[in-house]
Amino acid sequence: MTAPHSLLVTGTIGIDTVETPSARAERVLGGSAAYFAAAASRLAPVRLVGVVGDDFPADHRRRLEGLGPVDLLGLETRVGAKTFAWGGKYLLNMNERETLFTELGVVADAPPRVPAAFADSGLVFLGNTHPAVQAGLLDQVPNRTLAVADTMDLWINVAHDELVHLLSKVDGIVLNDSEAAHLTGERNAISAGRRILGYGPKFAVVKKGEHGAVLVHRDGVAVVPAFPAEEDMVVDPTGAGDTFAGGFMAHLARTGRTDLEALQTALSWGTVMASFTIGAFSLDGVAKATAADLEARYRLFARHARV
């Protein structure tokens, strides 16, 4: 049996401490896979694969369990290990951020195992984590029809070769413009995207923060603006990238399509999810929006912004 439309995500499940110019959130639930699942599960069921240590707070586990159609069969707890923890501080413009600390903990150990019941997944999202771990995960999902990865500066710096190897195995990559420039040496988002296609993927989504995103695909280029957010709408941008990816992948999963037109619509869903995420700390922005809120914002955005 295969499950061509099942969406599997892996990445970090972590404990975040976030400072903004006006507020601070201490040891809240975060991590790339947690944010992704919070957004994707608003549109389609999600299978989550990840590891935490035995210090993972019970409240955070309950929060994950309460997300809706997120299957936590692949969430492993390793005794004697520490959960991934990350601290970040936003600058006054709320766009740039500084990483204060990254404690890999259990993420630096053996990668999580994909449960047998998840091995038939059709769509795979490799959320931000070590590229060797991402590649190890991918090998455990042999029937996939679409694999998309995320990455970030840390991995471009410390695991460049593993990342290039990973790119030869995935269909798409989602990364921000500074990371794309860092990886390829190209400052222009489209040029950087094209350079990335040279490593193997069929498409690259280059995110440009408040200026939207560019999809560079073998079949063409598409752009999407960001949802216009005034200053008072932005409480905490953490997770915007992961929830963008969640909306993007879940739209593909629920439609079963991966052509250029579907990818364009998926970009809009990603943008909508990210716009809710930035309105609150942790997963709250995207998890607490009602289905009607999501739909209304998608309609507004698609009418005015989509090409």
Binding region for ligand AMP (CB under 6 A): 12, 14, 16, 30-32, 35, 86, 102, 128-129, 152, 154, 238-242
How are the residues of the chain apportioned to helix, strand and coil, as percentages rounded to the nearest 5?
40, 25, 35
Separation of alpha carbons 167 and 147, rounded Å: 10
Query: Whose Cβ is closer to ligand AMP: residue 189's or residue 245's?
Result: 245
Q: How far is the CB of 242 from ligand AMP (least distance, A)?
A: 4
Q: How far is the CB of 93 from ligand AMP (least distance, A)?
A: 15
Query: Whose Cβ is closer to ligand AMP: residue 122's or residue 131's?
Result: 131
Q: How far is the CB of 65 from ligand AMP (least distance, A)?
A: 18
The distance of Cα 141 from the centroid of its chain, to the nearest Å, equals: 18
Residue 220: how many CB atoms within 10 A of its CB?
A: 11
Separation of alpha carbons 187 and 141, rounded Å: 34
Q: How far is the CB of 282 from ligand AMP (least distance, A)?
A: 8
Q: How far is the CB of 194 from ligand AMP (least distance, A)?
A: 23
Separation of alpha carbons 153 and 150, rounded Å: 11
224 close to 305: Cβ distance less than 8 angstroms: yes
Query: Whose Cβ is closer to ligand AMP: residue 41's or residue 238's?
Result: 238
Over its C-alpha atoms, the chain yields an Rg (Å, rounded) of 17
232: left (phi over 0), alpha (psi -120 to 50) or beta: alpha
Query: Whose Cβ is closer to ligand AMP: residue 128's or residue 265's?
Result: 128
Query: Whose Cβ is closer to ligand AMP: residue 37's or residue 252's?
Result: 37
